[in-house]
Homo-oligomer: A and B are copies of this chain.
């Protein structure tokens, strides 16, 4: 999904610092377009602007729109946030992110947030196509406005990255690990740690532990260097040769 198609709409936000913090959260996640219905006083104050750290461009470009209807008029999908989980069918942020693309069908997506204390009215929710809800803990269910904006933006961003290239793991092969283990085995015999009558009992445990870690080639070569040096010390300590 193309994140430039998403508009965040804040309806009657009461605290300018929350608007500013929402701008930073939006920019963190690659959203750019903000519309505000009835912005609070003091949005230009220096202190209020501070939370929009390095996202002042978004704050400055925010469009002030007289009504919610006008703020969402160019969207093909309007999602309204609600703090109530008894509001009928609601989508989670993840569900919205998964479905927004097909539901918006190439058009704009408006994501609407109500005032901090009261949320969107039923009338305003009635203007929305779908309701979205973040499940929180009953002990403190109320998210800060900018925090709610962040969670939706985060999910939309992740959904927009669906085509990301698979991460290439960089694990040593079993053969490479085994070579290091055999060198360790020799060194730990030299040093008197493994019992020469039954060295493999403990080696099995070391192998299992190291294999669980999935060592990288670099780590395998560290282990081999370690084995070399330990083996040298063992042979010297037990009266053998003296070159490492």
Contacts and interface: CB of A to CB of B under 8 A. Distances in A.
B28 A147 contact: yes
A191 B237 CA distance: 10
A150 interface: yes
Given A21-B144, A54-B142, A154-B151, A28 B136 contact: yes
Contacts of A244: 192
The main secondary structure of chain A at its interface with chain B is helix
Contact of A209 (B30, B94, B206, B213): B213
A39 interface: no
A15 to B, nearest CB: 11
A193 B139 contact: no
Contact of A137 (B30, B191, B226): B30
Contacts of A225: 193
22 contacts: A24-B140, A25-B143, A25-B147, A28-B137, A28-B140, A28-B141, A28-B143, A30-B136, A137-B157, A146-B147, A147-B150, A188-B229, A190-B233, A192-B229, A193-B229, A205-B219, A212-B214, A230-B233, A233-B233, A233-B237, A236-B236, A236-B237
